[in-house]
Structures are given as C-alpha cells and as structure tokens.
Amino acid sequence: MSGSRIYMDWNATAPLSSDARSACLSALDLIGNPSSVHGEGRAVRTLIENARRDVAGLCGAKAASVIFTSGATEAANLVLTPDFRMGRTPLKIGKLYASAIEHPAVREGGRFPREALSEIPVTSAGVVDLHALRELLAAHDRALGLPMVAVMLVNNETGIIQPVAAIAEIVRTVGGILVVDAVQAAGRTPLAIEDLGADFLILSSHKIGGPKGAGALVARGEVMMPAPLIRGGGQEKGHRSGTENPVAIAGFAAAARKVGVDVAARMAPITALRDSLEREMQAAAADVVIHGRDVSRVGNTIFFTLPGLKAETGQIAFDLEGVALSAGSACSSGKVGRSHVLTAMGYDPRQGALRISIGETTSEAEIERCAAAFAKVAARRRMPGQAA
C-alpha cells in the first residue's frame, strides 16, 4: 500500500484488484438491462453468464448452480431457510445446526425461527467438535424435517481451517444438508464443492479483491433449492429477483479468475510473511498468545491476544501507529465487542484479541513496520498489577 499507513485488514475487505477495477469500468459502459432481448440487453446478459462461469470455476461448481446476490449475508439468508423444494416437491428442513464460531450472518439463523436453531460446540483449539456434532444429529427429530448443518471452511477471526470433508460425511449419514461459508477460504485454500461434500457454498466478492455489493450462493446441483428470499421479476432463474448488478458482478468474476489459479503457489510467499511477522511479535512480547497456531490455518491471518491490552485499546493504538487492523469480525458497524469465537474456544473474552490479515500486495517493508508498531504497543501496555 502507498502512503504512510499500512493495511493489515484483508479479512475485512481485500483491496480492489486492478483486474477487478478494469472489469468494473468496462461494465459501466454497457447500457442494456440483462433481461432485455435487444442487442444491448444481450451484451449485458453475456457478461453476467461469463461471470457466472468464472465464479463457478473458483469452487469447481457448474455455472448453472451459481446464484448472484448482493453479498454473503444475503446468500446466507437465502439458503438458511426451513423451506426447500426438491424439484417441484416441497422439502421441509426441521432444524439448523450452526457452529459456535460462525459469522453473525450464519449464527442469526437466516429464516429459521429461534427455536429451530442449535449450536455445535468447538474444541479449545477452535475446531468444530465432531463428536458433539454426531450426538446432536443422532438426537435430531426427523419428524420435524431434515437437519441442516452450517459451518465455515475458514474462520474469519482465527483463520483456522475446519474439517469440512469430515463434517460432510457425518451430515450425509443422516441425510442432512450441509451449507459451507467459504468467504474466507476462497483464494486462500483449495476450494472444490465436490471434494468438500458441501451442498451449498457462500462466497463474497470483496473478500477476494472484487468490489463490495456482490456475492453468490453456489449449489452442488440444481434440484434441491431454497425458497426465494427476494421475489419479483424472476431473475437468476427465479431464485433471486431484481435486476442484476453487472458492474459488481464483472468485478467479482475478475477477482475470482485471479485468485482461483495456483492457490498454493500464490499463498506461499504470503504465508512466509505471516510467519516472519509472528516471529517478530514473539521476540517483542514472549507472552503474546497467537490463537490457533497449533492447528491448520490459512496463511494470511494472525489472531492474537496481548496480556494487559484490551482489544479496543489495541486497535486504537495500532491505528495511531498507522497500522489498520481489526478486533475480530468487521460486521457490526464499527463496534468492538467481545469475540464469540474466543468464548466458544473457552478463553476469557473480556480482554479480546486483535486480527492481522494480509494479502498478495503486502510487502516485507510493511511487515517490518507492523512488527515495529507491535513492539511499541506491547511495550506501552499496562500489565496486570502495574500501577496506574
């Protein structure tokens, strides 16, 4: 990043990539409505269908199974519903089981009533408790309808990768539906809907370098689908009415094309920078707690607690040092609250934690500056028992 500040909050929003910017600008010149049959309309329709193919390619899905939405939150509210159809036959979903570390867009339960929500605990390592999931699903009352399980592939705060393929096997044995929030996974770890065993994936444009205001619900097939959330003109094959946003969709597709290629090779230097920063942090403050370090994580995220430094105080301190980072999920209009992820892992959430998340344009110089800022903030904190 240019200028005196450095941006270390890619999990909240990745900077708009040059490819996505160019795609958005080109799409602005198209004047037709994608539902119109004239040439101008067909040109926009072609753009959208090509974008659908590109977003499908990001997760190994069929283009026809991609439903464009205004973002991941809308996609979650679309799929998290007790009302499904199997072809033309109504299909009842009796209960939603969501992990304790899900993003609020999923934890709120979408269109399920509160009494139909059940929480799946996680281990102290921040990984979904598979034994607890088996017990919950074994006790599920099939008379209410099928069970739905919602888990994230990569946690937005810790970066921990969840055992989704193993979860899928458990869900499959009881004939349930598996919804996977892949927002933080896209472009950071290999992503294939078939390999995961997911029935639905949730994606977001602005987490992968596309513009804000676009997302997608991706289905493994086209037979079992949720009831529409937004009704109207029947766009997106009737699954999501309303004229599509071709500018945002074009940028989303351009970002998907870029991050979906050679993921492991692209992430290797990012992971090396993250590991270097963690070593500098531990050298500056031996008592720093890096959450999830002992389990599988994506290579761009550090979620840490500094004893004696509250999250909200730390966020301001880093901001004053010119470092933009966050205190967990950036989803509550700038509020800094207690981390439900830390609570689920069994940590005292009152002190909180801070999240550093980086990406492919992060430089070694920025890592060094962040490490220097960390050392200054760590040295100034008030330790327990220290006089005010």
Q: Of 162, 212, 210, which is closest to residue 189 (Cα–Cα)?
A: 162
Residues 6+ apart with CB under 8 A from 222: 62, 64, 65
How far is CA 184 from its chain centroid?
Answer: 4
DSSP assignment of 288-308: -EETTTTS-B-TTEEEEE-TT
Q: Is the C-alpha dihedral spanning 64, 68, 72, 74 positive or negative?
A: negative
Largest CA distance in the chain: 75
Q: Of 75, 95, 190, which is closest to residue 137 (Cα–Cα)?
A: 95
- Give helix 311-320 / helix 364-380 axis angle, nearest 10°: 130
The CA–CA distances, whole Å, from 309 to 128, 165, 273, 304, 354 equal 28, 37, 24, 11, 10
Left, alpha or beta for 238 (phi > 0: left; psi -120 to 50: alpha)?
left
Instruction: Choose, from 24, 59, 331, 370, the residue flagged as catalytic.
Output: 331
Whether residue 59 lies in the annotated active site: no
Burial per residue of 78-88, b for 16 or more beta-carbon CB atoms within 10 angstroms, e otherwise: bbbbbebeeee
Left, alpha or beta for 346 (phi > 0: left; psi -120 to 50: alpha)?
left
CA angle 149, 162, 134 (to 5 degrees): 45
Residue corresponding to tokens 């992503």: 191
Residue corresponding to tokens 């500098």: 280
How far is CA 370 from its chain centroid?
Answer: 24
d(CA 44, CA 310) in angstroms, rounded, equals 49
Residue 284's Cβ-side half-sphere holds a number of Cα atoms within 13 Å equal to 20
For residue 181, give the H/E element and its range: strand 177-181
Q: Among all residues, which ones are annotated catalytic?
A: 331
